[in-house]
Chain A
Amino acid sequence: MHFVKKEPTTEEQKEQKRKEREKKLKIFSAARDRLFDKRQKGELDEEVLAISGQLLQKNPDVYTFWNIRRQALILISQKIAAENSDDEAKRDERLAALYKEEMILTEACIQENPKSYGAWFQRGWVLERTPKPDYQFELKLCNLALRLDERNFHCWDHRRIVCRLANIPLEDELKFSDEKVNDNFSNYSAWHYRSSLLARTHPDPDGRLPMDESTLAKELGLATNAFYTDPEDQSAWFYTSWLFDDQHAFAEGPVPVWVTVDRKKSTILLVMSGAVEAKTVGDMIATDADGEWIPADSQAQSSQVWLFKSSSLGPATKVTLSYKALDVQVEDEWTDLDAIRALLAPANPEGSLKTALEKMLASCQELATVEPHNKWPTFIATLCMRRLDAQANHDQILSNLEKKLPELDPKRAGMYADLASDIRVDRFLLDALAEYSPVPDTLRMVRMELTSLGQLHLFAGRLTQLDLSENRLKSVAALRRLPLLEYVTLNSNEISSLECLSDGMDNLEFVSIASNGLTSVQQIADLKKAKKLGRLVVCENPFCDDKEQLEELRRVFGDSVRVIPFWL
């Protein structure tokens, strides 16, 4: 009624309200307990569906209820399937009704909470089991949910499930993503969906690009349109940088680039072009010797560098590398230097891709002059230059990464420095390959402004002596990928811990870590696990001034290691 004055609630009413709520809570707890009780007893029947359905409708986010429900559904549907085998039509009908009920419930739950993990998962689960699913309805539901919130990834996921089950033509979905991007191009989900579709509808025949050249050029144009319209919006920029991604260099998966068999030490070292898992390694390299493949990134499941530690790898033990057409016996070393070169310097693009990249570069450079405070045009221009011709643009790329970008975007200065460092390392390795033959086992990378080590691990099969002095390294975790390393010099860096070198570095004999930021012996204590370590130089670290620490140093390393805390 209009104009009815609202009576203020009295204490009495509040009390009454509280009592009512208490009563309702009691009923809720009773229902929940009853549900759990029934599960305990294994009574997964229609009653379970009824109770959990009611509970979920109001609160769709209780996973446990959904789990109980699925268990019940499996049992009930099995029961239906088992009985009355002669009346098949009726049986199907009952099954359909059972699932239909479930679709109605999940829909209600999704309306209650459009981002309910449980409800969406249940819906996808049911959809795969329903005898006659109504895919058009599912698409409509997805469209509706996406209209309400276009960044609902549950909904995008569900859409993928529906499209897979219903065999919806990819072109249709591409059109859908066109619409979504046109509606609002700040939509990561739509761009991402688009990228995954294009990779399938317009695959690159050579497998080197994320999609075929002309499509890629078109997409770059579309992204250009978007970031010119709104350079502050990141989605188009991210899409662009994804289009540059050169992870596609070996489209058919990682290939082996280096195998070193050390029969004295009884180890095999394998370097791959990309990270692989243990099973792939085992399939690739056959040997009679006992032993185990260990990833050089000790914690990781997959790694680019693998080490085989054996006790029985004698001079006569066969080691065979077989990969695709390749099938060779490795005596002490096998390398594919062309593959390494390709990894260090991917071939420059030709044809329409080159044109598209040049256009993109020009656009970005133009935009950078109009939007001097936006980092993106400069960043993408840098990526463009690298992709177009990393060698010719080397200096410009480094100056962008080391001067311009850190100023524009100080929060990501570290990222730019790492990228620059990677580029320097790659260039250094490339030059080393060109200059020395065979590949040197000693590298001196001094005063190179390095903060990261790029693809240094491609040389892991040979590298035993490394000098990284006078750089800006903060972490040496990357050294783990160089398990053959014997002499390493890390003087004058910004390293504050060597904990990461704790295991796997069995060959280390000499470590010099003078003039770094070590404040406690504990930070290097793990080095004592390196069995062969003979000398350790720790001069000019903060802890060297502390007598207690010096004693600690002696205590930790004992007599086996000659620790040098002061220059002579």
Chain B
Amino acid sequence: MAQDALPTDFDVIVLGTGLPESIVASACARSGLSVLHLDSNDYYGSTWASFHLKSIGEWADEQMKDTNGTDGNPTADFSHHLLPGERLELVSPARRKVIKNVQHSWHVENAPQPPAAELKEEKTTATVGEPNDSVEQSSTAAVESPTVPQETQLAPTDAKDPQTTTLPSAETTVPSAETTVPSAETAVPRWTRDRVEKDWRRFNLDLAPKVLRARGPMVQILCQSEVSRYAEFKCVDRFLCSGEHGNLHQVPCSRAEIFQTDAIGVMDKRRLMKFLTFALNWENEPEEYRGFEDKPLKEFLESKGLTGLLQSYISDTIASLQTNPNTVEGLRAVNKFLTSVGRYGNSPFLWTLYGSGELPQCFCRLCAVYGGIYCLRHSVDYLIINGDNRCTAVVTNGQRINCQFLIADQSYLPEEFVHQRKSVTAVQRAVLITDRPLEASDDKEHITLLNLANDDNLGTVHLLEAGFGACIAPKDLYVVHLTAACSSAYNASIEQPLSKIVHKYFSTSDDVTSDNVASLANRPRLLWILYFDVVTEMDVNKETIPSNIGVVCLPDATLDYETTVESAKELFALFWPDRDFLPFALPKEEEDEDEAQHEDVAGPENTQTEQSSTADTAENSTEHRDEAKAESVTEAKSE
């Protein structure tokens, strides 16, 4: 196999291609360190990935498998790799599954044509094939061809390679989709399962959906590292909040929107604007909120006459970067929100087109541009630890590869380096496919954010909705992400708390009249749903873990990437305090070909080139003049 091709020494080995690891990997490579980036999966992104409709089903099924008893490669003997004083530590990713409580189901049936027996709502489909851990047989693959299928994985009918599955599914679904069209004309367009599945490639379903704050650290590092070139973004352009009777209202977030809205009177507009203007400069006006510092933001808002809908606007949306804030935290959050409005349009947030899973890949790409080597489907069996409790190497595919530093998410850590947490925390997720947007008020398609205040023991629930325009769903379908933090007493056995919200805002049957919530009669129809939890059960054992292993965090429930980027930054600064974290790219050569010939193009000389532009003109014009002369001569002759 290609394992021989892998060099034996790296500065940094990164395990897992989730977002924080990928950011650190790219920062290392950008800084000139040699990087080997391994992932046991056959896709990029780990728990930060995006999948299309087929592969997310496979992913879910994979997560549901019973994983006991297949740890690394315990039978093989790798002791010949060891130097004196070194020992092997077994890596057992299967033991530390972070995705739990997975559940996915269809809420529409197939078109009535095929035999009815197979079309019942089914919760799981794939129990095919033995959990023959593909990890062992994985091969190295270059960045460009990460999806080369493994033969062993292809054996079951539930094939993973998209190309082999396209044809049959397309053949079966196309005719049925056509037959549904006539019925769609007679009634509300009725979606069928096969009609949704037909466009499976058009979906990009995120495991960890987040938005980028326009003036947040993610945008900053994307811009300065120029990783932004690899991805495209759109503004989150609609903010909803839940009003008094559970009705959804559109939140005006910018001056222009406040001016335009009909939902609030002019006096309320004034109060809202006044508050927002104050919040932009809140740090310099402490007397405005004196006495409220540690009290809940709500109380401060009430003291300013901001009640009812205005308060919902602020606490549910404009201050949503902080959950349950006190006045100072709340004002800081409002300030962050507001200072980001206007940089890329009338919204503080950006959405990554084609799904949030694009971002880890973009950073991997930057890493690869600077020489990082990528191997997917490449698990690590052992870490090699020396007598000074430093990780000196990893063993992968029977090969020893030395490293100075190791970066990994916690699922790659040997048992000895972690311990059970006292309180398990979890991010609860639901991914929905629906047939229409929430609270459709105009014809435009939006990327929508709705924050729902907590009930039960859930924190704020972030609801993100986007569709075709955000490149995550086929035309006329919408993807909804629910994300909530479950901070205390996580119990995987209780019924998904998010399902309450799902049932409140989405309808699971076409029979609208049976709903007694009149205001929500026009709820979007739920077509498909996936629930899962990202669970943190383990903590790093600071006493035992080697000092040169950096552990990155799992996706949290926050709305934006601030915590993620900051943690990656911190990790990098800890190991490489004297290196710049994703610094600005070097100035490019002048586009002007003329100037490219001179070597003194960058820096202060630029001003000189500006000044000489008039002289440039002259040069061009004389050339042109000669041409013109020639032309006029020929013309004269012809006449």
Q: Which residues of chain A have a CB within 8 Å of any CB of chain B?
A: 1-4, 6-7, 9, 13, 17, 20-21, 23-32, 34, 45-47, 49-51, 53-55, 57-59, 182-185, 224-226, 228-231, 363, 366-367, 370-371
CB <8 Å contact, B605 and A46 = no
- Complex contact A47–B614 (CB within 8 A): no
Q: Is the CB of B259 within 8 A of A46?
A: no
Cα distance A58–B589 in the bound complex, in angstroms:
22
Contact A46 B631 (CB under 8 A): yes
- List chain B residues, Cβ under 8 A from A182: 256, 259-260
B615 located at the interface, meaning its Cβ lies under 8 Å from any Cβ of chain A in the complex: yes
Which listed residue, A23, A51, A231, touches B624 by the CB 8 Å rule? A51
Listed stretches B12-20, B262-270, B400-408; interface member: B262-270
CB distance from B555 to the nearest CB of A (A): 32
The count of chain B contact residues (Cβ–Cβ below 8 Å) is 41
Q: How far is the CB of B272 from chain A (nearest CB, A)?
A: 9
- The total of interchain contacts (Cβ-Cβ below 8 angstroms) comes to 126
Smallest beta-carbon distance A466→chain B, Å:
47
Q: Output the residue of B616, B618, B625, B628 with the most chain A CB within 10 A.
A: B618
In this assembly, does B620 line the interface, its C-beta being within 8 Å of a C-beta of chain A?
yes
Closest to B611 in A: A21
Q: Give chain A residues whose Cβ lies under 8 Å from the Cβ of B631.
A: 46
Taking the complex as formed, is B188 at the interface, i.e. its CB lies under 8 A from any CB of chain A? Answer: no
**How near does chain B come to A175, taking the closest CB pair, in angstroms?**
15
Q: How long is the Cα–Cα vector from A291 to B586 in the complex, in angstroms?
A: 81
Going nearest first, the 3 A-B pairs with the smallest beta carbon separation are A24-B615, A28-B618, A54-B621
| Contact among A17, A25, A51 with B625 in the assembled complex (CB-CB below 8 Å) | A51
Taking CB as reference atom, which chain A residue is nearest B585? A2
Q: How far is the CA of A13 from the CA of B256 in the complex (A)?
A: 52
Q: In angstroms, how far is the closest chain A Cβ from the Cβ of B168? A: 47
State in angstroms the CA–CA spacing of A54 and B273 once bound together: 51
Q: Complex Cα distance A28/B620, Å?
A: 9
Identify the closest chain B residue to A32 (Cβ): B618
B84 at the interface (CB under 8 A from A): no
Q: B570 contacts which chain A residues (CB < 8 A)?
A: none
Give bound CA distance, A47 to B615, whole Å. Answer: 20
Q: Are B267 and A47 in contact (CB under 8 A)?
A: no
Q: In whole Å, how far is B613's beta carbon from the nearest beta carbon of chain A?
A: 6
Q: Which of B274, B586, B603 contacts A3 (CB 8 A)?
A: B586
Q: Are B600 and A7 in contact (CB under 8 A)?
A: yes
Docked-complex contact B624 and A50, CB < 8 angstroms: yes
Binding site for A on B (CB under 8 A): 255-256, 258-260, 266-267, 269-270, 273-274, 585-586, 589, 598-600, 602-603, 605, 608, 611-622, 624-625, 627-629, 631-632, 635
**Of B602, B613, B632, which one neighbours A6 at CB under 8 angstroms?**
B602
Task: Find the B residue at minimum CB distance from A13.
Answer: B600
A43 CB, min distance to chain B CBs, angstroms: 10
Q: In the docked arrangement, what's the CA distance between A4 and B588, Å?
A: 10
- What's the Cα separation between A160 and B625 when bound, in Å? 36
Asked, given contacts A21-B615, A182-B259, A230-B273, whether A7 binds B599 with beta carbons under 8 Å apart, the answer is: yes
A7-B599, A7-B600 given; A27·B270 CB < 8 A: no
Whether the Cβ atoms of A59 and B273 lie closer than 8 Å is no
List, in ascending order, chain A residues with CB within 8 A of B255's CB: 184-185, 229-230
- Decide: B618 and A183 in contact? CB cutoff 8 A: no
B602 to chain A, nearest CB (A): 5
List of A residues within 8 angstroms of B273 by Cβ: 228-230
User: Are A229 and B621 neighbours in the complex by a CB distance under 8 Å?
Assistant: no
24 A-B pairs (CB sep. < 8 Å): A1-B589, A2-B586, A3-B586, A6-B603, A9-B600, A20-B612, A21-B615, A24-B616, A25-B618, A30-B618, A30-B622, A31-B618, A31-B621, A32-B618, A49-B628, A55-B617, A58-B614, A58-B616, A184-B255, A228-B266, A228-B269, A229-B255, A229-B273, A367-B270
Residues of chain A within 8 A of B599, CB atoms compared:
7
Q: Knowing that A54-B617, A228-B270 are A-B contacts, what are 10 other residue pairs whose CB atoms are under 8 Å apart, sorted by A's residue number?
A: A24-B616, A25-B618, A31-B625, A49-B628, A58-B613, A58-B614, A184-B255, A228-B267, A229-B270, A363-B266
Measured CB to CB, the nearest residue on chain A to B629 is: A47
- Chain A residues near B622: list those with CB within 8 A: 27, 30-31
Q: Kindly state the separation between the CA atoms of A540 and B615 in the bound complex, as whole angstroms.
A: 68
A46, B629: Cα distance in complex, Å? 9
For A6, A20, A25, A30, the residue with the greatest tally of chain B CB atoms inside 10 Å of its CB is A6
Q: Which residue of B lies closest to A56 (CB)?
A: B617
**Could you tell me if B256 and A21 are in contact, using CB atoms closer than 8 angstroms?**
no
User: Quick check: B632 and A225 within 8 Å, CB to CB?
Assistant: no
Q: Which of A13, A50, A57 contacts B628, CB < 8 Å? A: A50
Minimal Cβ-Cβ distance residue in B for A186: B255
Of all chain A residues, the one with the shortest Cβ separation from B620 is A54
CB–CB A47/B617 < 8 A:
no
CA distance in complex: A55, B605 (Å): 24
Bound complex: CA of A46 vs CA of B585, how far in Å? Answer: 47
**A45 proximity list for chain B (CB < 8 A):** 632
Report the Cα distance A7→B603, complex, angstroms.
Answer: 10
Determine which of A6, A9, A26, A59 lies in contact with B617 in the assembled complex, contact meaning CB atoms within 8 Å. Answer: A59
Q: Are B612 and A225 closer than 8 Å at their CB atoms?
A: no
- Measured between alpha carbons, how far is A21 from B612 in the docked complex, in Å? 6
A188 vs B266: C-alpha distance in the bound complex, in angstroms? 21
| A57 / chain B contacts, CB cutoff of 8 Å | 617
Hey, which chain B residues are within 8 Å of A17, CB to CB? 598, 600, 608, 612
B-chain residues with CB within 8 Å of residue A184 when the two chains form the complex? 255-256
Chain A residues whose CB sits within 8 angstroms of the CB of B628 once the complex forms: 46-47, 49-51
Most buried by B among A2, A13, A229, A363: A229
Contacts of A29 in B (CB 8 A): 618
> Nearest chain A CB to B339's CB is how many angstroms away?
17
Measured in the bound complex, the distance between the Cα atoms of B255 and A279 in whole Å is: 50
How far apart sit A22 and B3, CA to CA, in the bound complex (Å)? 62
Q: Is the CB of B270 within 8 A of A28?
A: no
Bound-complex Cα distance A231 to B273 (A): 10
* A28/B259 in contact, CB under 8 A: no
Docked CA distance A34–B626 (Å): 12
Are B266 and A224 in contact, with the CB atoms below 8 A?
A: yes
Interface centre among B614, B629, B635 (most CB of A within 10 A): B614
- Of A31, A49, A363, which is in contact with the most chain B CB atoms at under 10 Å from its CB? A31
Q: How far is the CB of B269 from chain A (nearest CB, A)?
A: 5
By a CB distance below 8 angstroms, the chain A residues around B589 are 1
Q: State in angstroms the CA–CA spacing of A182 and B255 once bound together.
A: 10
Distance to closest chain A CB from B212 (angstroms): 23
> B259 contacts which chain A residues (CB < 8 A)?
182, 185, 225-226, 229-230
Instruction: Tell me which of A23, A34, A58 has the highest count of chain B C-beta atoms within 10 A of its own C-beta.
Output: A58
CB-based contact A50/B627 at 8 Å? yes
Closest A residue, CB atoms, query B623:
A54
Q: Across the interface, do B270 and A370 meet the contact criterion of CB distance under 8 Å?
A: yes
Identity of the chain B residue whose Cβ is nearest the Cβ of A54 in the assembled complex: B621
For the complex formed, measure the closest distance between the CB of B266 and the CB atoms of chain A, giving whole angstroms. 4
For the complex, give the distance between the alpha carbons of A549 and B222 in Å: 78
By a CB distance below 8 angstroms, the chain B residues around A4 are 586
Say yes or no: A185-B625 contact (C-beta < 8 A), given A3-B586, A27-B619, A231-B270. Answer: no
Q: Which residues of B contact A55 (CB under 8 A)?
A: 617-618, 621
Cβ contact of B615, chosen from A28, A50, A53, cutoff 8 A: A28
Which chain B residue lies CB-closest to A1?
B589
Q: How far is the CB of B125 from chain A (nearest CB, A)?
A: 48
Which of chain A's residues have a CB closer than 8 A to the CB of B619? 24, 27-28
B603 contacts which chain A residues (CB < 8 A)?
6
